[in-house]
């Protein structure tokens, strides 16, 4: 439930920023990057003839058959909510219901330029309202901690996706005077609601690596990967200590390790090793955590992910830099 | 009312910014395809959003405070690259000349010795600050933020109407209007090739770094000093502080010790190196200027003169944007730069000169008469629009204090199509580009286009029923 709401919110953020700010030199917008970002090229191509703004927006906002659309995410959140109804507050359930009904009535007219931005804002606010209601009404029992776990796992994952979506632009142009790309970087920060927080930290230094570092490692930014992992860790610790849950030791260990990587690795090291590779590593790590949480607490069968899982408990650590291991051995 | 935007638009013989410009073809086509009903709906949505975002100024009446938005017109004002090039060069030239003038006036006063500008006009000016004599200003950048008001006459010629070299406001609307257009009319912007306005905050921070005390350069602590929440431009102060990523402070948040400026924080006092102040000189320090000022910081001037803190803009810039000094600006530009003005002045009669006074009195019904010390469009008499009684009142004031007035011919400002009560009509516009100066000068592409919303009105000031438009500089 928490994960679906986070997912819907993040998608609304990406679409809104794309609609409004993420323009190229001529002021154009390439909508296909969003399809690529979500790795939906195949199912998109099956359903739509062309990559127009209208099609992409329909696909991600209102398409009932697309499992990654905002509609589907909120529908799933509501279905989860129905199943969890005895555990969650009435207000949470009502919000999911109202939200779902609102999305069900989205017409084509709301997907037109000018109407879209208010709609996406409304969706973002509905998600934030849900999160606020949960914070204010959800009885702090086991269920609420699992809710927090899910929310922050998803949020961290979504931030890596956001960063990955622009990494090509970010990494292949270091010309800071180039306003087009500055616009893209600002768009990235705005998508994460990090623009003003970032400006507070770096008044005069809007470089891609600073932005990447901010979104990955900043300890105070509510959507940074580091903060999200820390929150997942604290929710898990609470579950284990307050409710004496015995499972999840392996997850706790994994979280410790991920936290320490995020807490100590410098952005320079990440860049030398490849930002995309690092993001990929974090995403696989978060996936492994999800799988293991499922196995530890809900008896989910182990998920086939990738070859590394059969031999290793966690994804192989990406080296900080190509020469990183050698430096270690010398030390 | 036409079916589409621009269908029934008629500029009534005025110079129209939209129709006269060949580069607006594509934009006109798009507006020409947009049904009126949809356009109005989106325009209303944009104003609603401005209200929700709190992009408002506050109007106080006896019993209540009312938040108003600066009316926003959704039809952009467009400047093609060639026209912008002239404006950009003209504004840079003007700012350069103003800074050279200020440096001269507060040091050698060559221009006064050469009698190019009457000494009493400067030394007797209410905004002359003798305390600034001999004070060294980094890069001679006195005016770090300048707003130059530019109009366009009936022939389409750009002319400078006024320099704003003290604390010009309005830049927040430039950026917020753009955001509003991108949200409400993304399809109008697509592939047009629009110059971005996104980096104003960064440029401003860059200039603040340039003027920081040398021993604090590198990572100076910058703050924005506002008169506080009751100021009508408070929204802009918040906006700029956020865009710059610097703390927003009021006078009571700052304290001067050992000729250094400190900010009160929860963790104790923190050093301040550069202050972007949005408070006029005379309210800045009750020990140096108006003793009754509650907005200022006692002792600030001591720290400033000791070189321990930079102020933007510098103290005493008001003498350069005076309406009387304005009349001399073409000559000032030639004097310091040996160049002709790239953007001309509006022809100006300086009423302190007897012949100009006589001419003005004889042609009151044709001229615009302005008091030199006022801002915000107050105290102006527009001859052709004035009643008999208003003309006579103006004559009395002129005769009582001629030196306080200038007069200019009444110029038919250019117009821009504007949505008024559901129909698109011509309304007069001006333009205020913003220039930032540290080591060198940068001009934000575009600027604030103000529009006089009342039919036939030439007064664009927000305090007098003006609104604004997004200004598009094309690549």
pLDDT at residue B113 in the model: 97
Domain boundary among A108, A139, A170: A139
User: Over 60: is that where the pLDDT of B403 sits?
Assistant: yes
- Interface contact A29, partner B, CB < 8 A: yes
pLDDT at residue A321 in the model: 47
Whether residue A103 is found in the same domain as residue A237: no
Note the pLDDT tens digit of each residue in B271-322.
999 999 999 999 999 999 999 988 999 999 999 999 999 999 999 999 999 8
B190 contacts in A (CB within 8 Å)? 27-29
Residues B245, A186: C-beta atoms closer than 8 Å: no
Residues A204, B209: C-beta atoms closer than 8 Å: yes
Are B33 and B4 within 8 A, CB to CB?
yes
Whether residue A187 is found in the same domain as residue A201: yes
Give the domain range for residue A69. Answer: 1-139
d(C-alpha B461, C-alpha B379), whole Å: 13
d(C-alpha B429, C-alpha B418), whole Å: 10
Average confidence score pLDDT of chain B: 92
Whether residue A310 is found in the same domain as residue A208: yes
Note the pLDDT tens digit of each residue in A251-304.
999 999 999 999 999 988 888 888 888 998 999 999 999 988 988 888 877 666
pLDDT at residue A91 in the model: 96
Domains and CATH numbers, chain B: 349-409 (3.30.1490.270)
User: Over 60: is that where the pLDDT of A134 sits?
Assistant: yes
Whether residue A17 is found in the same domain as residue A66: yes
Whether residue A146 is found in the same domain as residue A273: yes
Whether residue A100 is found in the same domain as residue A244: no
C-alpha distances out from residue B37 to B4, B5, B41, B426, Å: 8, 9, 6, 19
b/e per residue A252-268 (b: at least 16 CB within 10 A): bebbeebeebbeebebe
CB-CB: which of A29, A114, A203 is closest to B184? A114
Note the pLDDT tens digit of each residue in B354-397.
999 999 999 999 999 998 866 656 788 989 889 999 999 999 99
B202 contacts in A (CB within 8 Å)? 203-204, 206
Residues B193, A203: C-beta atoms closer than 8 Å: no
Q: What is the largest CA-CA distance in chain B?
A: 69
Question: Nearest CA to CA, how far is B385 from chain A (Å)?
Answer: 40
Q: Identify which has the larger pLDDT, A109 or A104.
A: A104
Give the lowest-confidence range in A162-166, A283-287, B324-328.
Answer: A162-166
pLDDT at residue A320 in the model: 54
Searching chain A, which residue's CA lies closest to the CA of residue B204?
Answer: A204
pLDDT at residue B50 in the model: 86
A12 contacts in B (CB within 8 Å)? none
d(C-alpha A260, C-alpha A265), whole Å: 8
What residues 416-475 of chain B have any CB closer than 8 A to a CB of chain A? 475
B198 contacts in A (CB within 8 Å)? 179, 182-183, 186
Chain Cα centroid distance, residue A236: 19
Whether residue A245 is found in the same domain as residue A230: yes
Give the lowest-confidence range in A24-33, A192-201, B22-31.
Answer: A24-33
Q: Which residues does residue B162 pair with via DSSP β-bridges, in sequence order?
A: B149
d(C-alpha A110, C-alpha B178), whole Å: 22
Whether residue A258 is found in the same domain as residue A245: yes
DSSP-assigned states of every residue in A67-88: TTSHHHHHHHHHHHHHHTTTTS
Identify from B43, B177, B192, B198 which residue to disrupt to test chain A contact, counting A C-beta atoms within 10 A and taking the largest count.
B198
- The pairing of beta strand B268-272 with beta strand B367-371: unpaired
B182 contacts in A (CB within 8 Å)? 20-21
pLDDT at residue B433 in the model: 98
Are A124 and A132 within 8 A, CB to CB?
no
- Interface contact A52, partner B, CB < 8 A: no
pLDDT band at A169 (very low <50, low <70, confident <90, very high): low
- Interface contact A203, partner B, CB < 8 A: yes
d(C-alpha A185, C-alpha A33), whole Å: 15
User: Over 80: is that where the pLDDT of A44 sits?
Assistant: yes
Question: Nearest CA to CA, how far is B142 from chain A (Å)?
Answer: 21
d(C-alpha B84, C-alpha B76), whole Å: 15
Identify from A17, A113, A197, A211 which residue to disrupt to test chain B contact, counting B C-beta atoms within 10 A and taking the largest count.
A113
Q: Which residues does residue B223 pair with via DSSP β-bridges, in sequence order?
A: B275
B209 contacts in A (CB within 8 Å)? 204
pLDDT band at B38 (very low <50, low <70, confident <90, very high): very high
The stretch A176-197 carries a mean pLDDT of 76
Q: What SS3 string covers B136-178?
A: CCHHHCCCCEEEEEEEECCCCCEEEEEEECCCCCCHHHHHHHH
* Structural domain contains residue A278: yes
What residues 323-352 of chain B have any CB closer than 8 A to a CB of chain A? none
Domain boundary among A139, A156, A177: A139
DSSP-assigned states of every residue in A83-125: HTTTTS-HHHHHHHHHHHHHHHT--GGGGSTTTHHHHHHHHHH
pLDDT at residue A177 in the model: 47
d(C-alpha B27, C-alpha B474), whole Å: 11
Q: At A146, list the tokens.
A: 């699992």
| Total number of domains in chain A | 2
| H/E segment holding residue B236 | helix B234-244
pLDDT band at A171 (very low <50, low <70, confident <90, very high): low
CB atoms within 10 A of CB A101: 11
pLDDT band at A244 (very low <50, low <70, confident <90, very high): confident
- Interface contact A193, partner B, CB < 8 A: no
CB atoms within 10 A of CB B343: 19
- Interface contact A176, partner B, CB < 8 A: no
Are B53 and B176 within 8 A, CB to CB?
yes
User: Over 50: is that where the pLDDT of A326 sits?
Assistant: no
Task: Indicate the SS3 state at residue B429.
Answer: strand
Of the candidates B56, B81, B118, the residue with the CA atom closest to the CA atom of residue B332: B118
* Structural domain contains residue A162: yes
The stretch A110-119 carries a mean pLDDT of 87
Whether residue A146 is found in the same domain as residue A274: yes
d(C-alpha A31, C-alpha A49), whole Å: 14
CB-CB: which of B182, B192, B202 is closest to A204? B202
Q: Identify which has the larger pLDDT, A324 or B116.
A: B116
- Ranges of H-type helices in B34-170: 36-52, 81-105, 110-113, 119-123
CB atoms within 10 A of CB B76: 27
C-alpha distances out from residue B62 to B65, B228, B464, Å: 8, 20, 19
pLDDT at residue B322 in the model: 87
**B101-104 LR contacts (CB < 8 Å, sep 24+):** B101/B320, B101/B332, B101/B336, B102/B140, B102/B142, B102/B143, B102/B314, B102/B316, B102/B317, B102/B319, B102/B320, B103/B137, B103/B140, B103/B142, B104/B336
**Which strands, in side-by-side order, build the sheet including B248-249?**
B248-249, B222-225, B274-277, B310-312
Whether residue A155 is found in the same domain as residue A294: yes
- Interface contact B13, partner A, CB < 8 A: no
* Structural domain contains residue A117: yes
- Interface contact A114, partner B, CB < 8 A: yes
User: Over 60: is that where the pLDDT of B407 sits?
Assistant: yes
- Interface contact A177, partner B, CB < 8 A: no
- Interface contact B238, partner A, CB < 8 A: no
Domain boundary among A120, A139, A158: A139
Cα angle vertex B263, ends B261, B267, to 5°? 135
* Structural domain contains residue A132: yes
ipTM of the complex: 0.80
d(C-alpha A223, C-alpha B209), whole Å: 30
* Structural domain contains residue A99: yes
User: Over 70: is that where the pLDDT of A22 sits?
Assistant: no
Whether residue A41 is found in the same domain as residue A189: no
CB-CB: which of A21, A27, A115 is closest to B192? A27
What residues 32-71 of chain B have any CB closer than 8 A to a CB of chain A? 38, 41-42, 45, 49
B183 contacts in A (CB within 8 Å)? 19-20, 114, 117-118
- Interface contact B243, partner A, CB < 8 A: yes
Average confidence score pLDDT of chain A: 84
* Structural domain contains residue A327: no
- Interface contact B222, partner A, CB < 8 A: yes
Q: Which residues does residue B416 pair with via DSSP β-bridges, in sequence order?
A: B427
CB-CB: which of A115, A180, A196 is closest to B242? A196
Whether residue A181 is found in the same domain as residue A259: yes
Q: At A223, list the tokens.
A: 């959507």
* Structural domain contains residue A329: no
């Amino acid at each position: 439930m928490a994960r679906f709401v986070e997912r819907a919110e993040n998608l609304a953020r990406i679409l809104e920023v794309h609609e409004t700010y993420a323009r190229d030199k001529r002021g154009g917008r390439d909508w296909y990057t969003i399809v690529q970002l979500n790795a939906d090229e195949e199912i998109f191509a099956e359903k739509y003839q062309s990559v127009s703004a209208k099609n992409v927006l329909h696909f991600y906002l209102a398409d009932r058959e697309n499992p990654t659309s905002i509609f589907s995410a909120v529908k799933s959140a509501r279905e989860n909510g129905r199943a969890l109804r005895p555990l969650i507050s009435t207000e949470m359930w009502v919000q999911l219901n109202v939200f779902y009904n609102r999305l069900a009535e989205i017409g084509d007219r709301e997907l037109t330029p000018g109407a879209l931005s208010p709609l996406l804002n409304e969706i973002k606010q509905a998600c934030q309202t849900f999160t606020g209601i949960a914070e204010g009404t959800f009885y702090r029992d086991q269920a609420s901690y699992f809710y927090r776990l899910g929310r922050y796992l998803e949020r961290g994952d979504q931030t890596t996706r956001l960063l990955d979506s622009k990494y090509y632009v970010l990494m292949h142009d270091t010309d800071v005077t180039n306003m087009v790309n500055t616009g893209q970087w600002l768009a990235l920060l705005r998508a994460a609601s990090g623009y003003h927080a970032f400006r507070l930290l770096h008044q005069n230094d809007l470089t891609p690596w600073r932005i990447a570092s901010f979104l990955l490692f900043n300890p105070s930014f509510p959507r940074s990967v580091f903060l999200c992992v820390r929150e997942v860790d604290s929710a898990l610790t609470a579950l284990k200590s307050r409710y004496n849950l015995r499972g999840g030791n392996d997850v706790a260990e994994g979280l410790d390790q991920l936290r320490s990587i995020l807490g100590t690795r410098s952005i320079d090291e990440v860049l030398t090793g490849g930002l995309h590779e690092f993001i990929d590593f974090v995403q696989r790590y978060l996936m492994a955590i999800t799988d293991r949480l499922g196995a530890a607490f809900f008896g989910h069968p182990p998920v086939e992910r990738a070859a590394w899982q059969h031999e290793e408990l966690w994804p192989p650590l990406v080296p900080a830099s190509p020469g990183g291991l050698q430096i270690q051995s010398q030390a | 009312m036409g079916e589409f935007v621009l269908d029934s638009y008629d500029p009534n013989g005025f110079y129209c910014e939209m129709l006269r410009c060949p580069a607006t073809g594509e934009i006109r086509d798009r507006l020409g395809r947009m049904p009126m009903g949809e356009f109005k709906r989106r325009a209303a949505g944009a104003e609603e959003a401005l209200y929700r975002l709190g992009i408002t100024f506050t109007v106080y009446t006896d019993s209540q405070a009312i938040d108003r938005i600066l009316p926003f017109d959704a039809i952009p004002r467009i400047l093609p690259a060639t026209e912008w090039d002239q404006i950009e060069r003209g504004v840079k030239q003007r700012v350069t000349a103003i800074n050279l003038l200020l440096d001269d006036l507060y040091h050698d006063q060559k221009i006064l010795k050469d009698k190019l500008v009457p000494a009493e006009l400067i030394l007797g000016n209410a905004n002359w600050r003798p305390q600034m004599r001999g004070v060294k200003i980094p890069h001679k950048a006195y005016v770090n933020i300048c707003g130059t008001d530019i109009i366009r006459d009936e022939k389409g010629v750009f002319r400078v109407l006024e320099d704003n070299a003290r604390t010009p406001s309005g830049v927040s609307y430039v950026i917020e209007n753009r955001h509003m257009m991108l949200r409400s009319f993304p399809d109008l912007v697509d592939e047009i090739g629009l110059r971005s306005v996104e980096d104003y905050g960064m440029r401003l921070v860059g200039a603040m770094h340039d003027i920081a005390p040398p021993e604090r350069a590198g990572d100076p602590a910058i703050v924005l000093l506002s008169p506080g929440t009751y100021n009508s431009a408070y929204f802009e102060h918040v906006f700029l502080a956020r865009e710059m990523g610097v703390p927003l402070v009021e006078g009571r948040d700052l304290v001067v010790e050992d000729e250094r400026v400190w900010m009160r924080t929860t963790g104790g006092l923190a050093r301040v190196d550069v202050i972007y102040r949005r408070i006029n000189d005379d309210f800045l320090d009750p020990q140096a200027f108006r003793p009754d000022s509650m907005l200022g910081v006692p002792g600030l001037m001591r720290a400033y003169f000791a070189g321990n803190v930079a102020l933007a803009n510098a103290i005493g810039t008001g003498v350069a944007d005076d309406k009387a000094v304005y009349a001399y600006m073409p000559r000032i530009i030639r004097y310091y730069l040996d160049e002709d003005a790239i953007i001309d002045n509006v022809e100006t009669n300086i009423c302190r000169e007897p012949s100009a006074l006589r001419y003005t009195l004889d042609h009151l019904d044709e001229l615009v008469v302005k008091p030199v010390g006022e801002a915000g469009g107050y105290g102006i008499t527009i001859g052709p629009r004035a009643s008999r009684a208003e003309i006579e009142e103006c004559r009395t004031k002129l005769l009582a204090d001629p030196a306080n007035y200038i007069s200019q011919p009444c110029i038919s400002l250019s117009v821009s199509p504007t949505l008024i009560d559901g129909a698109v009509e011509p309304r007069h516009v001006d333009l205020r580009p913003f220039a930032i100066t540290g080591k060198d000068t940068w001009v934000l592409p575009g600027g604030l286009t103000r529009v006089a919303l009342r039919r036939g009105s030439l007064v664009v000031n927000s305090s007098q029923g003006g609104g604004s438009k997004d200004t598009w500089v094309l690549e």
